[in-house]
Structures are given as structure tokens and as C-alpha cells.
Amino acid sequence: MIHTTSRVLVSGLREHVGQTVSVSGWVNTLRLQSKMQFVVVRDHTGMVQVTHKRSGEGDEVEAALEGLTPESAVRITGRVVDNPIVKLGGLEIIPESVEVLNRAETPLPIDEQTGLEHRMDWRFLDVRRRPQAQLLFAVQTTFEQGMREYAYRQGCTEMHTPKLMGTASESGAEVFKLGYFDRSAYLAQSPQFFKQMAISSGIDKVFEIGPVFRAEPSFTSRHATEFTGVDVELAWIDGVEDVMAFEEQMLAYAIAKVADTHGEAIQETFGVEVTVPTTPFPRITMAETQEILRAKGWDPAGVKDDLDPEGERGIAAHIKEQTGHEWVFVTHYPTSIRPFYHMRPAGNPSVTLSFDLLWKGLEVTTGAQREHRYDVLQKQAAEKGMSTEPMQDYLNAFRYGCPPHGGLGMGLGRVLMVMLGLDSIREATFLFRGPNRLTP
């Protein structure tokens, strides 16, 4: 069929009152009465009512509308008419032709009452039918755009590092092993080693948004086996403070962009207000954090080196109460729970120059100043009982003049989860991957 009228989006119909237009979208609802047929059509910008008065035998439009099912893909050409009693924008379309581009089977496999796991099985329909999901991906796009803009303005080079590795990165635990021709390869748990190599390559500031793989059998609302990481590495730093300052500025910039573009829609759809954080964010050492939490009855046995989710929520609540701030950097984590490549302050080898960033009590970022001295790196790896032989390619990057540097890794899904007040990272991901989910 030849189309003389080009597609108009539902959000733009007001400008076409009295004109004949084509609208393409999905059937949202049908009310087929004895004298009238009402069909609500939805595209990604909104919904419009199509109103047709039946004229019986030989009425092609009537027959086409009668054969529709919810979620069928249609193209409807007709006149846009002002009708103040129509709830959807005070407009309706009087159809002249109805094309069924793809009739949806009936009944649909999911409805409003369907639980999360079953919705995940039919994720394409779930996303299509729910404005929350549609908005989430628009917000994700704007948020990433904001982070990139900030990073580019700071002189970052966007890198794409390999996701296949010949040896297990970091500690060797929690990696996926796969067949690689006649030997084994591993999926990268983080671009850490590669972005440090980029620093050693003379690339001053490194930025990457890409997939990260973690073979953790975690079944929590905030873990995934494949997620999108936002990674930054900065050369010639004076200390880990430079990394925290970069991150808080980047987040404030990107969140302001989200608030500006989608603030009203987020408030309406999720009932959440997006507030742009003030900088600097509060900072508190791990030792202080533990002291405050233990005074409130956390970890009564006094055995925890790290913060558990309860501890993260506890310190965030404390900081919010004290400062009114939703964000907090917890710094100087013990050496025992941090990787060998985190730098340790001179004179205090029991802690690292590292941080976690918590937003409303959820850890969204880990960062640190890296150890850039070859001999120290070797020593720290040996202390952790690691063999340096499989890491020689990595260690070589520090033998020929690597500058002081530090960086961070942020989980995109976790940030979106907190930003939109979602209960699970499954909702903040297009197609979730977890220990029990490899489909669709």
C-alpha cells in the first residue's frame, strides 16, 4: 500500500486538528459497542482514541476494527477531530482506513497482576505495556548522556576494553570460564586492568560504559551476573580525593540533566522527586563508620570488617540525619577486604586509599587510588597469597614509568534503581541475567 500521509506521533496530534493523518501503534483497549467502535491506540509518546460509527454491510473500517485484539500493531489513517469530552487530550481520530500490520494473539501471556518473574519471561511485552519501563530507558539514556558529556568536558577518552581475558582477573574468584579454541578464557569482572594499561599508554583520563560479568551466586534484589559498568580512571592524581571529586561532580551534572529532562514524568510515573545533590558529598572513614554503627547496636560481636547491607543503610541514615545528604563516601577500607592493587597510605598499611559511594544506603560505586609502583604491587600481591606469574602482562604496565592514578567503577542499574525508587535491579535492566536466568 502506498501512504500519502506520513506518520504523526500521538504527542503531536494537537497540531493536526482538521487534517487527515496516519497514526502507527498498538491497540491499547477496545470497546466494540452495537452502534459505535472505540479503539485506543498507543505509541511511545501517548494514547489516542479512534472513534468509528458502524454502517454495517461493506464497511471495511468496521470489519477491520472488529477483528482487532489488544496489542495488535496497527496503522490508522483518519481525520483528527477536537472532542472535549474525550479524556485523552480532548481529541479523537475518525478513521478512514485501518491496516492491521500484525495481529496479536489472544489472550496475552501477562496482565497487570502478573508477578515480576513471569513478567521477565515476557519482558518485551512488559516493557511495551508499562509506561514506567518506557520511561526508565529514556532516563537511562539521558543519565548516560550526562555522564559522558561531563567526562568529555573533563578531557576523558572513551575506551572499549576486551571482555575476554586469558587469566582470571583480580582475585580469580567469581569469574565465568569459557572454552576458547583449545584453551580456557574468562569473562572480565571489570575493565580495571585494561583501563590501568590505558593510563600507562599515556591516555590521561579514561572512561568506559560496558558490560561486566560476575559469577556470584547472589539472589538479592541488587545483584546481577551481567551488568553495565561505568568506569573511570584518572592519571596524575594527587590522591584518592581527586577521584571522589570527579565522581560527585559527574553525578551532580548527570542527575541535573535527568531532573531537567524527565523530572516531571518521574514524579508522575514513579512518585519520586529527583533531587540534584549538592557537592561535595559527605565523607566518613570506615573506622568512624563502624564506631557509629556499633554504638547503635550493629555487629555486636565486633567481627565485621566490611559493611553488610544493614550497615550501609545504617550509616546512610546517620549521615542523612546529620547533614541532610543522601550520598556518602565511606573511605579507607581495611586492606584485608580490598584488592592487592589498592594503594595503602604511607605509615598505615592496614587500610587502603579507597572508597565506596552509597546512595540512600545502597552501594553504587567502588573506587580507589591504585598502587602504581611495580615493586610495591608485587609485594602486596604476594601478601595476599597471589601468584604474580599469570598477571605478568598487567604488572608489566607498571615497569616503565606509569603515573599515579585512581578510578572508580559504578553500577548503572543500581543508580537507576535508587533514582526511580525501584525494588529490584531486575526492573532497572532491559534483559536481566542472574544465576537462574539466561533467557529471554
pLDDT digits (tens, 9 = 90+) for 184-199: 999 999 999 999 999 9
pLDDT for residue 1 is more than 60: no
pLDDT of residue 174: 87
Q: Where are the domains of the chain?
A: 10-102, 123-427
Two domains, one topology: 10-102 and 123-427: no
Confidence of residue 2 (pLDDT cuts 50, 70, 90): low
How many C-beta atoms lie closer than 10 Å to residue 247's C-beta? 26
pLDDT of residue 103: 98
Separation of alpha carbons 16 and 197, rounded Å: 56
CATH code reported for the domain at 10-102: 2.40.50.140
| C-beta separation of 362 from 420 below 8 A | no
Class in CATH terms, 123-427: alpha beta
| pLDDT one-digit tens code per residue, 122-139 | 999 999 999 999 999 999
Q: Which of 230, 228, 211, 213 is nearest to 156 (CA)?
A: 230
> Which residues fall in the annotated binding site?
170, 214-216, 363, 366, 370, 411-414
Burial (CB count within 10 angstroms: exposed 0-12, middle 13-18, buried 19+), residue 197: buried
| C-beta separation of 86 from 92 below 8 A | yes
With b for 16 or more beta-carbon neighbours within 10 A and e for fewer, the 103-125 pattern comes to ebeeeeebeeebeeeebbebbeb
Separation of alpha carbons 359 and 65, rounded Å: 50
pTM score, two decimals?
0.95
> Which residues fall in the annotated binding site for L-aspartate?
170, 214, 366, 370
Over residues 241-260, the mean pLDDT reads 98
Q: Which of 308, 280, 265, 306 is nearest to 134 (CA)?
A: 265
Separation of alpha carbons 79 and 84, rounded Å: 16
Find the length of the chain: 440
pLDDT of residue 360: 97
pLDDT for residue 35 is more than 90: yes
DSSP designation for 403: P
Separation of alpha carbons 75 and 98, rounded Å: 6
Beta bridge mates, 37: 32, 52
Confidence of residue 362 (pLDDT cuts 50, 70, 90): very high
Q: 184: part of which helix (H) or strand (E)?
A: strand 183-187
pLDDT of residue 4: 63
Over residues 313-331, the mean pLDDT reads 98
pLDDT of residue 3: 53
Over residues 356-370, the mean pLDDT reads 98
Over residues 212-220, the mean pLDDT reads 92
Q: Whole-number mean pLDDT of the chain?
A: 96
Q: 406: part of which helix (H) or strand (E)?
A: strand 405-411
pLDDT of residue 125: 97
> Which residues fall in the annotated binding site for ATP?
214-216, 363, 411-414
Confidence of residue 321 (pLDDT cuts 50, 70, 90): very high
